[in-house]
């Protein structure tokens, strides 16, 4: 179950993100933006990975690793709970 | 049938790097009803808001409340004779007790206020923040009230260092040692008198809420904001409206516990776990009040309407992501206005109650 806070993030096409809970603003690269949009839609992990592979030319292992890194980063920033795990 | 435009006086026109709320409140009132006659009540002939283009119709110097209630009332009576006031919106902490005490007499003159009672005012005072926390269920930092240096020497047993040394009305100095605390204590006492409030520090991010209570435990409206730039005086120089249900709960709990009537500002810190700690509640509009208009809730206009006995505007939701960035500009001032303020204590720009 995806966190409501991720659904409420304001995402712009340029990668500018506004978190209305904390008032924080930050920028993400196209990969990050793709992940945030997928999370906001409530996609499960395999679907997020599939979308990333459709959008970016990268080997599966690298996509998985990048996804984990980004989720960890979102946890560090308080956007996701620290113990968050994406449904498989 | 259209309602008669109100004549509304607002205090707190100083607008330095630590601005009073008056200018923001006046801008909101102008936006709320362009036909209203706005009158400034200033404490100093060089208060910047006096000279802001198109802000007020007339401005009058008023004495500090410390000069006595009768002198204060007498001057308000004079202003009323001159312009026919309907509503006064005080915006400074130190003048609120005087306005509350004068409310019945001002009402007899036909001047309305929308303020808390003395009891409500006292309950949210810094000295009673712990009581408020207990009553409302809001988390508050450890706080102690001290009246002399001897007490200050023992206060770390209740409130550990580092802590803030605060005046009853204004000011907060961080003290990490006894020597720093003593220095801050005397500084606060010289400015604001006794008692002095000592408050534990809370690590986290600061959030503020501007709101208006209806006096029955409900909210007329409220807009929360996160400071994006903070000056060396701790003032927000830029901010953005946010939406966090937990912060809304703190605001509602405060209003419900006090049955707050009138404007207020909640100041809270959010810790790493997302828990809010109530730092203080200011019993008036904050300087950043105009942001409430940008977010779709003109709270000063609502207060003027409520004070006048009219129904408050019904607000929808506020807009999240509304932002302000303060600016310091050198405005060209009228020397004639300055001359009038110094010699006559007033500037009357209109004679028939119209626009400036």
Query: What does the alpha-carbon distance between residue A8 and residue B321 come to, in Å, rounded to a whole number?
Result: 12
- The answer to whether residue A3 scores a pLDDT higher than 80 is no
Superfamily of domain B142-200: ATP-grasp fold, A domain (3.30.1490.20)
Residues 6+ apart with CB under 8 A from B210: B222, B223, B225, B263, B264, B265, B285, B286, B288, B289, B291, B292, B299
Identify the three-state secondary structure at position B82.
helix
Q: Which stretches within B113-211 are classed as H helix?
A: 118-123, 129-136, 149-154, 178-192
Residue B231: predicted pLDDT = 87
Residue B115: predicted pLDDT = 98
CATH architecture of B119-123+203-325: 2-Layer Sandwich (3.30)
- The answer to whether residue B290 scores a pLDDT higher than 90 is yes
Counting runs of H as helices and runs of E as strands, what totals does chain B give?
A: 11, 15
Of B40, B270, B83, B92, residue with least CA distance to A24: B270
A21-30, B46-55, B151-160: least confident range: B151-160
Query: What does the alpha-carbon distance between residue A78 and residue B107 come to, in Å, rounded to a whole number?
Result: 51
Beta bridge partners of B11: B41
pLDDT band at B131 (very low <50, low <70, confident <90, very high): very high
* B274 to A10: CB separation less than 8 angstroms, yes or no: no
Distance between A70 CA and the closest CA of chain B, angstroms: 20
Residue that wins the pLDDT comparison between B43 and B313: B43
* A20 to B226: CB separation less than 8 angstroms, yes or no: no
- The answer to whether residue B171 scores a pLDDT higher than 90 is no
- The answer to whether residue B340 scores a pLDDT higher than 70 is yes
Residue B73: predicted pLDDT = 97
CB B267 within 8 A of CB B208: yes
ipTM surpasses cut 0.85: no
Q: What is the pLDDT of residues B317-335, one digit of tens each?
A: 999 999 999 999 999 999 9
Q: What is the pLDDT of residues B195-211, one digit of tens each?
A: 899 999 999 999 999 99
* B321 to A20: CB separation less than 8 angstroms, yes or no: yes
Q: What is the pLDDT of residues B105-121, one digit of tens each?
A: 999 999 999 999 999 99
At CA B248, angle to CA B222 and CA B320, rounded to 5? 65
CB A39 within 8 A of CB A28: no
Residue B352: predicted pLDDT = 46
Q: Are strands B7-11 and B37-42 parallel, antiparallel or unpaired?
A: parallel
Percent of chain B with pLDDT over 70: 98
Query: What does the alpha-carbon distance between residue B70 and residue B65 come to, in Å, rounded to a whole number?
Result: 9
DSSP states of A20-82 as a string? TTT--EEE--HHHHHHHHHHHTT--HHHHHHHHHHHS---HHHHHHHHHHHHHHHHHTTSS-T
- The answer to whether residue B267 scores a pLDDT higher than 70 is yes
- The answer to whether residue B354 scores a pLDDT higher than 90 is no
Probe site for chain B from A23, A75, A82 (most B CB atoms < 10 A): A23
* A20 to B320: CB separation less than 8 angstroms, yes or no: yes
- The answer to whether residue B147 scores a pLDDT higher than 60 is yes
The yes or no reply on domain B7-113+329-348 and CATH 3.40.50.1100 is no
pLDDT band at B310 (very low <50, low <70, confident <90, very high): very high
Residue that wins the pLDDT comparison between B303 and A6: B303
- The answer to whether residue B219 scores a pLDDT higher than 60 is yes
CB B191 within 8 A of CB B175: no
Beta bridge partners of B238: B229, B325
Residue that wins the pLDDT comparison between B31 and B314: B31
For residue B227, the tally of other CB atoms under 10 A from its CB is: 20
Residue B312: predicted pLDDT = 86
In the DSSP assignment, the letter for residue B253 is H
Mean pLDDT in residue range B163-184: 88
pLDDT band at B74 (very low <50, low <70, confident <90, very high): very high
Q: What is the pLDDT of residues B230-255, one digit of tens each?
A: 888 778 899 999 999 999 999 999 99
Residue B193: predicted pLDDT = 84
B206 interfacial to chain A (CB closer than 8 Å): no
Distance between B162 CA and the closest CA of chain A, angstroms: 26
Query: What does the alpha-carbon distance between residue B78 and residue B154 come to, in Å, rounded to a whole number?
Result: 50
Which residues in chain B are contacts of A25 at CB distance < 8 A?
240
Percent of chain B with pLDDT over 90: 77
Residue A2: predicted pLDDT = 59
pLDDT band at B83 (very low <50, low <70, confident <90, very high): very high
State CA B233 to chain mean position distance.
16
Percent of chain A with pLDDT over 70: 98
* A18 to B244: CB separation less than 8 angstroms, yes or no: no
Of A36, A10, A14, residue with least CA distance to A27: A14
Q: What is the pLDDT of residues B3-34, one digit of tens each?
A: 889 999 999 999 988 899 999 999 999 999 99
Mean pLDDT in residue range B256-261: 96
Mean pLDDT in residue range B73-77: 97
Q: Render the burial of B335-344: b for 16+ CB within 10 Å, e for the rest.
A: eebeebbeee
At CA B260, angle to CA B98 and CA B87, rounded to 5? 50
pLDDT band at B351 (very low <50, low <70, confident <90, very high): low
Domain definitions of chain B by residue range: 7-113+329-348, 119-123+203-325, 142-200
């Amino acid at each position: 179950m995806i966190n409501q806070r991720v659904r409420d993030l304001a995402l712009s096409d340029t990668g500018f993100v506004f978190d209305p809970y904390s008032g924080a603003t930050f920028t993400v690269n196209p990969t990050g933006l793709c992940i945030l949009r997928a999370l906001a839609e409530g996609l499960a992990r395999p679907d997020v990975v599939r979308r990333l592979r459709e959008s970016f030319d990268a080997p599966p292992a690298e996509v998985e690793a990048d996804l984990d890194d980004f989720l960890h980063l979102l946890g560090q920033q308080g956007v996701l709970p620290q113990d968050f795990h994406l449904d498989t | 049938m259209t309602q008669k435009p109100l004549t509304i006086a607002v205090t707190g026109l100083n607008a330095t790097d630590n601005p009073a709320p008056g200018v923001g409140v006046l801008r909101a009132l102008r936006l709320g009803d362009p036909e209203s006659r706005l009158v400034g009540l200033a404490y100093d002939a060089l208060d910047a808001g006096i000279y802001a283009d198109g802000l007020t119709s007339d401005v009058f110097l008023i004495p500090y409340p410390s000069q006595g209630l009768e002198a204060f009332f007498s001057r308000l009576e004079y202003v009323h004779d001159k312009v026919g006031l309907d509503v006064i919106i005080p915006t400074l902490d130190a003048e609120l007790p005087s306005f509350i005490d004068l409310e019945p007499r001002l009402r007899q003159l036909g001047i309305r206020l929308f303020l808390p009672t003395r009891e409500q005012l006292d309950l949210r005072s810094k000295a009673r923040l712990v009581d408020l926390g207990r009553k409302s269920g809001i988390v508050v930092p450890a706080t102690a009230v001290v009246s002399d240096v001897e007490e200050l020497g023992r206060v770390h047993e209740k409130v550990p260092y580092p802590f803030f040394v605060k005046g009853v009305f204004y000011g907060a100095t961080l003290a990490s040692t006894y020597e720093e605390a003593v220095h801050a204590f005397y500084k606060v006492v010289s400015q604001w008198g006794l008692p002095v409030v000592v408050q534990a520090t809370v690590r986290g991010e600061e959030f503020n809420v501007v709101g208006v209570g209806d006096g029955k435990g409900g909210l007329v409206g409220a807009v929360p904001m996160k400071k994006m730039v903070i000056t060396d005086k701790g003032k927000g120089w830029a901010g953005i409206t946010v939406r966090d249900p937990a912060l809304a709960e703190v605001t509602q709990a405060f209003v419900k516990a006090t049955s707050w009537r009138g404007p207020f500002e909640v100041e809270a810190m959010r810790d790493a776990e997302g828990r809010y700690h109530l730092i203080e509640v200011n019993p008036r509009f904050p300087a950043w009040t105009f942001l409430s208009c940008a977010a779709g809730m003109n709270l000063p206009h609502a207060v003027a309407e409520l004070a006048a006995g009219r129904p408050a505007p019904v607000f929808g939701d506020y807009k999240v992501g509304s932002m302000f960035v303060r600016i310091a500009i050198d405005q060209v001032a009228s020397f004639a206005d300055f001359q009038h303020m110094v010699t006559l204590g007033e500037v009357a720009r209109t004679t028939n109650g119209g626009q400036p």
